[in-house]
């Protein structure tokens, strides 16, 4: 039962200290690796699965991580931890929305927070690249080319995310071998 409570506490902290989406990944990685529940590679796999699954990234990660660590109770605890901050903040924001909208202080805070979130995202990108594109100290060029091709198709050719994921999965099965 202690692990279930730790999962709740970990995802409660993640929910309160991140701003959703990709900014949660460094925190999820830190909690999972810090508790010894997963390796960075396993977290990377969970993030990939969460991205492919319908729904919010953070909630999907909480579900998959919770199940991996402590089964259904773990998933419930992680989801409850992830959702509690959202409900709390939304309720408070609803009450004070007009006041926050016109507040110069809130505008200044958000101006400072946005670049930090971008820095966190870049840190995750670098960490995921090192995890996913190298093995045994060498670069996995097939994976790099598939990743660059996927980025090109998403950004320049406006392909849908599911289409790019399916193509990347097929190319990965053909050209990449599991370490």
Over the stretch 96-143, which tens digit does the pLDDT of each residue have?
766 766 788 878 887 898 899 999 999 989 998 888 888 888 999 999
Give pLDDT, residue 102. 76
Q: Evaluate whether residue 125 is within a structural domain.
A: no
Q: Evaluate whether residue 114 is within a structural domain.
A: no
Report the mean per-residue pLDDT for the chain.
89
Domain of 45, in residue numbers: 2-103
Query: Is the pLDDT at 53 greater than 60, yes or no?
Result: yes
**Nearest-5° Cα angle at 38, 36 to 40:** 110
Q: Evaluate whether residue 116 is within a structural domain.
A: no
Query: Phi and psi of 120, rounded to 5°?
Result: -65, -40
> Of 141, 143, 167, nearest to 154 (Cα)?
167
- Choose the weakest-confidence range: 10-14, 42-46, 99-103, 169-173: 99-103
Q: Evaluate whether residue 22 is within a structural domain.
A: yes
DSSP string, the chain: -HHHHHHHHHHHHHHHHS-SGGGGHHHHHHHHHHTTS--HHHHHHHHHHHHHSSS-HHHHHHHHHHHHHHHHHHHHHHHHHHHHHHHHHHHHHHHHHHHHHH-HHHHHHHHHHHHHHHHHHHHHHHHHHHHHSEETTEE-HHHHHHHHHHHHHHHTS---HHHHHHHHHHHHHHH----
Instruction: Please state the rounded mean pLDDT for residues 40-61.
Output: 90
Give pLDDT, residue 11. 95
141-155 and 104-132 are packed helices; what angle lies between their axes, rounded to 10 degrees?
140
Q: How many domains does the chain have?
A: 1
Q: Evaluate whether residue 53 is within a structural domain.
A: yes
Q: Evaluate whether residue 140 is within a structural domain.
A: no
Instruction: Please state the rounded mean pLDDT for residues 85-99.
Output: 79
Categorize the per-residue pLDDT at 178 as very low, low, confident or very high, splitting at 50, 70 and 90.
low
Categorize the per-residue pLDDT at 171 as very low, low, confident or very high, splitting at 50, 70 and 90.
very high
The C-alpha atoms of residue 148 and residue 154 are separated, in whole angstroms, by 10
Instruction: Please state the rounded mean pLDDT for residues 145-169.
Output: 95
């Amino acid at each position: 039962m202690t692990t279930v409570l730790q999962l709740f506490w970990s995802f409660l902290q993640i929910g309160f200290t991140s701003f959703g989406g990709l900014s949660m990944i460094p925190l999820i990685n830190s909690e999972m690796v810090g508790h010894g529940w997963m390796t960075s590679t396993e977290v990377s796999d969970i993030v990939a699965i969460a991205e492919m699954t319908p729904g919010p990234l953070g909630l999907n990660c909480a579900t998959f991580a919770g199940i991996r660590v402590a089964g259904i109770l773990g998933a419930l605890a992680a989801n409850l931890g992830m959702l509690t901050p959202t409900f709390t903040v939304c309720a408070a924001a609803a009450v004070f929305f007009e006041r926050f909208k016109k507040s110069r202080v809130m505008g200044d805070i958000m101006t400072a927070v946005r670049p930090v979130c971008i820095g966190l995202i870049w840190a995750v990108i670098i960490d995921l690249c090192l995890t996913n594109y190298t093995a045994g100290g060498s670069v996995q060029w097939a994976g790099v080319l598939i990743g660059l091709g996927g980025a090109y198709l998403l950004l320049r050719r406006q392909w849908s995310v599911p289409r790019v994921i399916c193509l990347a999965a097929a190319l990965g099965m053909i050209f990449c071998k599991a370490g």
